[in-house]
């Protein structure tokens, strides 16, 4: 399955200038820096890089899962169709990506980037 169909092109990468050459070219995860092999990586699709060049990053399953869940949760809150339970194609693709990568989510030995706690809303 190509990255666009799989949904990995919807995942935001860390700021491109801060990535190492290995992270930009798929040899290491752009989020945690784990060295990757073709068997352990997920293709994130071709992305625009610095000075008009393109990069071809790959991520470890744990980080792709964490980012897919984060983007999925944000999408569900922001999309008017999904908010009304009329799930759009983006919802379905992100949900499938989060589910298919969840089995390996605890495998990454490197710490994930820090997450900001979500503000609590008072219950009515």
Task: Kindly list the averaged pLDDT for each block of 10 residues, start to end, along the chain of length 124.
Answer: 76 88 92 89 89 90 89 86 81 86 58 51 60
- What pLDDT, on the 0 to 100 scale, is given for residue 111? 52
Distance CA 45, CA 120 (A): 35
- What pLDDT, on the 0 to 100 scale, is given for residue 121? 62
Contact by Cβ (8 Å): 35, 28 = yes
Structure tokens at 86: 């009329």
- What pLDDT, on the 0 to 100 scale, is given for residue 110? 46
Nearest-10 Cα torsion for 92, 57, 34, 59: 10
pTM: 0.75
- What pLDDT, on the 0 to 100 scale, is given for residue 1? 61
């Amino acid at each position: 399955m190509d990255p666009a169909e799989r949904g990995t092109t919807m995942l935001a990468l860390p700021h491109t200038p801060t990535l190492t050459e290995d992270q930009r070219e798929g040899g290491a995860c752009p989020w945690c820096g784990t060295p990757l092999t073709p068997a352990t990586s997920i293709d994130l699709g071709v992305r625009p890089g610095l000075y008009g060049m393109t990069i071809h990053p790959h991520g470890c399953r744990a980080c792709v899962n964490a980012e897919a869940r984060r983007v999925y949760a944000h999408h569900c809150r922001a999309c008017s169709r999904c908010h009304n339970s009329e799930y759009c194609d983006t919802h379905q693709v992100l949900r499938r990506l989060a589910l298919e990568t969840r089995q390996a989510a605890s495998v990454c030995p490197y710490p994930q980037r820090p997450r900001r706690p979500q503000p609590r809303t008072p219950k009515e």
